[in-house]
Amino acid sequence: MTYKLKLTPNQAKASNHFKGPSLTLAIPGSGKTTLLISRLIHLVENMQVEPTHILTLTFSKASADDMANRYAALNAPYKFQFMTIHKFAYGIFKQYNLQTGQQMQLLDDSGRRFHILNEIYKKYYTTSLTEDEYEAFTNHIGLIYNLKLKRTDQSAYDFQFDRIFDMVSDYHIYKKKHKLFDFDDMIFYAIKILKANPNALAFYQNRYPFIQVDEAQDTSKLQFELIELLLGPEKNLFIVADDDQSIYGFRGAFPDYLLSFKERFKEASIYYLKDNFRSDAAIVFTAQSIIQKNEHRFDKPMSPIHKHEMPPLFKNFDDLIDRNQYLLDQIQMAQDSVAILYRNRISALSLVNLLDQNQVEYYIKEPPLAELDHWLLQDILAFMNLALIPQDLESFNRIAFKMNGYISREMLQYVNEHIRGKTVFRTLVDIPFLESYQSRTQERLMEQFEDLKSLRPYDAIAFIETELGYLDYLKKNTTRLGVSMNFARTRLDAYKAIGKSLKSGFDFITRIEHLREHLHMDSTPAHQAKVTLSTIHGSKGLEFHNVFMIDVNDQIFPGFNSQKKDALEEERRLFYVGLTRAKRRFELLHTRFMNGDFNKNSLFIEEFLSQEFTEDALDHIERKTSIG
């Protein structure tokens, strides 16, 4: 029939698996979706399994939709169910609520959830949540819930808030009181319902005697508990995963389940998809060389199908501005798809600005909107605003203690009470209780802000850092502010790159507002875009002809909190995922200087540069080259 799929021997062997538990370890680009669809057809046509008796679950909606679309394109006559684990759990929960008459409302990532968590946060920390803190808070909730952590586990994890378990407890109490549930609750309630109702459990076990799970490396301990609960006595569980692509530990992903699969299911079959259909041979072996440095993993063979054409490259640039110009040039010359990948969203900000200025269309996953509200950028804008409008009390109050003006709380209070039409600086100079040397300091500060007003934005930011002492403030307060100095320099570098072509502080302020509006607009649709900007997390499951990875900087990637072995191995897996998105060309771009300071190579750059190929790998690359 026309919908029959062409399979490799390894795919065919795995797709012929019938009953009992099995785990298929699939390297990147090895055709796992083809395998899953082929097995569905095999079960129906060759093993006489009813299509309605097979449930295919996956971690993300994007993956479920992709699988459904790929299957629909075959025009096969059978109807299969592809859905996320959350959607399946919600179906159980919804049916139970209909039968019991309970009225509960889904609490998604909307403004209401932010308001609830913000009120809880303020109870313990008095201030409001920033966007970054909100994201950390929600990730911590998911981690605690999905790994079923207890208070005694707190010291084993790098939680951002010391009162996290108190806050999570308050959150669950609030949800219960107001009859709310969130996405993590779906899994929890589905398990609770099935355990308490044997008839309901038997119904689902009889309805779905065959279960397939894709992206199992991203599945949590709680989700695995639900899946195991659904298994009938034959345990017909077919799992496809790659432990090397498990990159969601901060949300509760539990790759240890895969590593202990044979202990859980003694009779389990293990299959390997080792052929990479995506990448240049040298990219495949570079990725293999790097991921093998992780110890807590399956040792898997990797074999490229495509010949070696272009080795992965490392390129150095003097600074961010030179690097961005190089990227712009490469984008404009490229004939095929281009992806620029990075660890953190701040890396996209200066690139978005450059692409917008040059009218280059692009698609961006997870636009860095929160970065435009980041406290560090707001500080820089306050300096510039105060230079332009020296009566601006709001800006003055924000930065008074963040510069070398030696301003006390009494001086700040006096300015707020006595400014009366004067400038902030004139009021400071005229404070009656100051000693003469203190007044001279304020006169100097007034002159510095006059100088600041006349500077171009690039030079203005450097002036704020040095002459006004802002960099010293950051160095003294990085621990309290929860950032590394390298992370602060990364942001300052981005702001300077945005300001490089601008003439005044007013232009910079206006440009930031323009970027805010620009990022709120819909970008080019993903399927139409030649250029994609994405975090590496957001790129998972995608592939591009050309991949440029940027900002692999010390203390940022791997992060400054990756001292623990497990955390470092997950960061390395993330680097591996980024590398394996590339089909023909991969370049790792580094800047020698970050905001004027020497930017030493991160651990992953050193590993990339010192990769060691086995003799088989080198022979394979040479053989492919000679054949080509």
Could you tell me the end-to-end alpha-carbon distance of the chain, in angstroms, rounded to an integer?
A: 34
Mean pLDDT of 158-182: 93
Residue 584 has pLDDT above 50, yes or no: yes
Task: Provide the CB-side half-sphere exposure for 611 (13 A, CA).
Answer: 25
With bands split at pLDDT 50, 70 and 90, how would you rate the model's confidence at 615?
low
| DSSP β-bridge partners for residue 181 | 106
- The pLDDT, as a whole number, for residue 482 is 64
31 is in an annotated binding site: yes
pLDDT at position 560 is 67
Confidence label for 527 from pLDDT (cuts 50, 70 and 90): confident
Quick one: what percent of the chain has pLDDT higher than 70?
95
Tell me, what's the pLDDT at 104? 87
26 annotated as belonging to a binding site for a ligand: yes
Checking if the pLDDT of 291 tops 50, the result is yes
Please indicate if the annotation marks 340 as binding a ligand: no
Instruction: Give one word for 126, left, alpha or beta, with left for phi > 0 and alpha for psi -120 to 50.
Output: left
List, edge to edge, every strand of the sheet that includes 582-591: 313-317, 582-591, 544-549, 338-342, 531-535, 363-364
What average pLDDT does this structure show over 459-488?
88
Q: What is the mean pLDDT of residues 250-267?
A: 92
Rounded average pLDDT over 388-401: 97
For 123, the token pair is 């109870």
- The pLDDT value given to residue 108: 76
Banded pLDDT at 624 (limits 50, 70, 90): low
Q: What's the one-letter identity of residue 314?
A: F
- b/e map 273-303, b = 16+ CB within 10 Å: bbbbbbbbbbbbbbbbbbbbebeebbebebb
pLDDT for position 564? 79
In contact, 594 and 322? CB cutoff 8 Å:
no
- What is the C-alpha to C-alpha distance for residues 72 and 24, in angstroms, rounded to an integer? 24
| C-alpha span between 83 and 62 (Å, rounded) | 10
The answer on pLDDT for 413 being more than 90 is yes
pLDDT category at 616 given cuts 50, 70, 90 is low
Would you state the pLDDT for residue 411?
96
28 marked ligand binding residue: yes
**Alpha-carbon span 160 to 335, nearest angstrom:** 44
Q: Is 29 annotated as a binding residue?
A: yes
The stretch 594-606 carries a mean pLDDT of: 93
30 in a labelled binding site: yes
Q: Which of 57-71, 518-532, 577-591 comes out lowest in average pLDDT?
A: 518-532
Against a cut of 0.85, is the pTM above it?
A: yes
**What is the average pLDDT score of the chain?**
92
**Predicted pLDDT at 620:** 63
19 is in an annotated binding site: no
pLDDT value of position 627: 41
Q: How confident is the model at residue 251 (pLDDT cuts 50, 70, 90)?
A: confident
Q: What's the average model confidence in pLDDT over 222-237?
A: 95
Lowest mean pLDDT, pick from 263-277, 475-489, 517-531, 606-620: 606-620
Q: Residue 622's pLDDT is what?
A: 59
| 50 vs 556, residue with greater confidence | 50
Element spanning 545, H or E: strand 544-549
Calculate mean pLDDT across residues 122-144: 88
DSSP for 169-212, please give it.
Answer: HHHHHHHHHTTEE-HHHHHHHHHHHHHH-HHHHHHHHHH-SEEE
Residue with tokens 């990875």: 549
Find out whether 142 is annotated in a ligand binding site.
Answer: no
Confidence of residue 628 (pLDDT cuts 50, 70, 90): very low
Q: Are strands 22-26 and 269-273 parallel, antiparallel or unpaired?
A: parallel
Dmax (CA) of the chain: 95
Residue 1 has pLDDT above 80, yes or no: no
Give yes or no for residue 623 having a pLDDT over 80. no
Q: Higher-confidence residue: 183 or 21?
A: 21
pLDDT for 226 beyond 90: yes
Give the residue with greater pLDDT, 112 vs 585: 585
Question: From CA 160, how far away is CA 164, in angstroms rounded?
Answer: 8
Residues 357-392: tens digit of each pLDDT: 999 999 998 899 989 999 999 999 999 999 999 999
| Mean pLDDT, range 281-309, rounded to an integer | 93
Would you call 156 helix, strand, or coil by DSSP?
Answer: helix
pLDDT > 50? residue 47: yes
- Tens digit of pLDDT for each residue in 185-201? 999 999 999 999 999 99
